[in-house]
Structure formats: C-alpha cells, structure tokens
Amino acid sequence: MTIKTELPNFIDVSAFKAEEFRNLAEMAQTDRNAKLKTIAKHTLSKDELLRIEPMTFLEELTAVCVFLFMVPGSVISIPALTFIIGYITGKFYLAVTISLGLAIFLAFVPQPFKEKSLSSWWALQILRYFSFKGIFEEQLEKDKPYILVAPPHGVFPFGNITTMIAFPSLMGFSFRGLAASAAVAMPYFRQFLRTVGAIDASRSSATKVPNEEFVVL
C-alpha cells in the first residue's frame, strides 16, 4: 500500500546513524537543506510510515535508563533503589540521608543548557526508542519569528522533548521548550530537562530567554 503525504517532506529521523545525526546539526544551513532534500520522501508505503526502528540491547538500555533514572521514573526508581541499598547493607538511615542530601543538592545546583547534548549519541537513542519521524512543509529560518506549539503537553511531554532533540539536525538550531515549574525544579527531572533546553513555564523565566532563541508553548 502506498500513501501520498499531503506534506512535502517526510524524514525518518530515527534511521539516522549517530555520525550523520551529529553532522547534520553542525552543517551550514544550505548544506543541511541540500542533504535533507536527498533524504526526504514525498511518497511512502504504509510500512515505511509505521516502521519501528530496530535497536541493539545497549541502545535500548540507554534509552530505558534515561526514562528510569531521570524522567519520569526517578520519582519511583531513586526511592526504591535507596530502600534496596539500605536493606542490603543494613544501613538504611545512612542510605536515606545520602539520597536525600543528593536530591536537595541537585534541586539547587545550576544546570546549564548544553546544545551539543541534543545531537549526542544518547539523545539519538531516545529518538530511536520512539521511532521519531519528522514531517514539515518547509525549513524554518532562525532569524524569523514563529510560534511553535507541541501538543499534547502533559506533565512529561515526550513529543516536545523528542522534537527538541531532533530540531538541530532538521532545522539547524535549537529551541527552548516550556515545562511545568514543578518538573524543572525536581532533582533528576531538572538535570535532564535543563540539559536539553527546557525552561520554567513561568512568565518571569520565559521572558528572560534571549529574543533570538525559540520558545515552544
């Protein structure tokens, strides 16, 4: 079965090799656009549209560990791990004290946005885990104003985050996604979300972002 897409550019981002994924993010705009034109499809089969990206054990384990020990699983996995270590060692009080102290430290330590993390090997594994695909009408330009909306936008919006990761390789620049204040303040959530560019959704935080940077609602 063949499907003709209404949108002119269909790209299976999850199929990129790690080096290709990184190189696209580092290319000049004209070179990237030319490269993506050779990759983009306008007519595709149902199998291509629904294709699930195969992953090695290490690749899938990397993605699962991000979800389990960073977001959203850290609210369960970290307390559970603390309890297990305390139970095995017989030093439950010490394990809780260390875990709580680390959480408090991480909740207040500054976590800068690292744009290069978006085109890293581990970030690509998240896209592969979700078999992320991009469909867009045209290349966006960094120096033009846009309003980007990423629904659904729940407590932990995977769609928004995967788009943030893929954007430099597809469009050549990053954007800052708005996240719930509670999520950005929570340890482990905070480290991951701020690393990939998420910021507090409060007015005071959003208005501090430089005008040249994108913010997605």
Instruction: Assign 3-state DSSP to the chain and report helix, strand, coil percentages, each to 5.
Output: 55, 10, 35
Q: One-letter amino acid identity for 74?
A: S
Beta bridge partners of 178: 199
112/115 Cα distance (integer angstroms):
9
**pLDDT (0 to 100) of residue 121:** 97
Residue 1 three-state SS: coil
Give the residue extent of every domain in the chain: 2-55+111-216
Tell me the residue length of the chain: 217
Token readout for 146 is 């846009």
Quote the pLDDT of residue 131: 95
Supply the pTM of this predicted model: 0.87
The torsion angles phi and psi of 2, rounded to 5 degrees, stand at: -110, 135
Strand partners, 45: 2
For the stretch 138-189, pLDDT in tens is: 888 887 777 777 666 666 678 888 999 999 999 999 888 888 888 888 899 9
